[in-house]
């Protein structure tokens, strides 16, 4: 169970702009949490430098140094566990995590995914959305489970798909809503108002009937 003022570990593979949104929210006093470590599968990930610039411990492990995905994940999550996080936030972490590592950390991992789940799981979500001709696209924060992008959805942010959109334009529109979506989701978890238990999501101790939407997200107590 996640309760107030908790310790966060953030996993990221790239630029780390969502990590930066969390760092900025904590610095501004808008998020009652501490990032105790940032971890990446890419030594050159900009996310690692963002962490170091903020005085946060950062580490990378290369999957090429391990014989299997399971061996890499065992070492990677041993490093994550060493900082004793209460919540593990996958924010642009691009590797599929072994089922065993997820199952050993039930109700402790969330992921930011650039689509309105359950639509468009996996990679190239903006391309998938354009090919499908949908009118809306967006981002979701969901509980990590062994199924790919298959866990219960905590919150979503929606954006329109506009005439003439290409992947870059649609991606930029989605990216703009990802930051507040992730910060709000983590804030509610850190406050204890939102909790994960037994694969279910509870808001103020009542089962969450539908994913939260930014405009409908209740204010902090």
CB 178 within 8 A of CB 92: no
Question: What letter does residue 212 receive in the DSSP assignment?
Answer: B
Pairing of the two strands 58-60 and 34-40: parallel
Question: Cα-atom radius of gyration of the chain, to the nearest Å?
Answer: 17
Q: Which of 113, 137, 142, 179 is catalytic?
A: 113
CB 83 within 8 A of CB 36: yes
Distance CA 209, CA 186 (A): 19
For 147, list phi and psi in degrees, rounded to 5: -75, 145
The secondary structure of 126-192 as a DSSP string is HHHHHHHT-SEEEEEEEE--SSTT-SPEEEEEEEEPPTT--HHHHHHHHHHHHHHHHHHHHHHHHHT
113 as an active site residue: the answer is yes
Residues forming the active site: 113
């Amino acid at each position: 169970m996640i309760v107030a003022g908790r310790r966060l570990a953030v996993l990221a593979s790239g630029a780390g702009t969502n990590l930066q949104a969390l760092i900025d929210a904590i610095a501004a006093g808008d998020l009652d949490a501490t990032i105790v470590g940032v971890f990446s599968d890419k030594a050159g990930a900009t996310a690692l430098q963002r962490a170091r610039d903020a005085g946060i411990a950062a580490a990378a492990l290369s999957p090429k140094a391990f014989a299997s995905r399971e061996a890499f994940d065992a070492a990677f999550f041993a490093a994550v566990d060493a900082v004793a996080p209460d919540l593990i936030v996958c924010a642009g972490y691009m590797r599929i995590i072994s089922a065993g590592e997820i199952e050993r950390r039930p109700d402790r991992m969330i992921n930011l995914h650039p689509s309105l789940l359950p639509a468009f799981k996996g990679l190239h979500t903006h391309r998938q959305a354009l090919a499908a001709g949908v009118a809306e696209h967006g981002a979701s924060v969901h509980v990590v489970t062994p199924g790919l992008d298959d866990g219960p959805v905590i919150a979503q942010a929606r954006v329109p798909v506009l005439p003439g959109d290409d992947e870059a334009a649609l991606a930029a529109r989605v990216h703009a809503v990802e930051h507040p979506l992730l910060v709000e989701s983590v804030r509610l978890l850190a406050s204890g108002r939102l909790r994960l238990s037994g694969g279910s999501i509870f808001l103020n101790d009542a089962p969450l009937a539908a994913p939260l939407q930014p405009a409908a997200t209740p204010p902090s107590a």
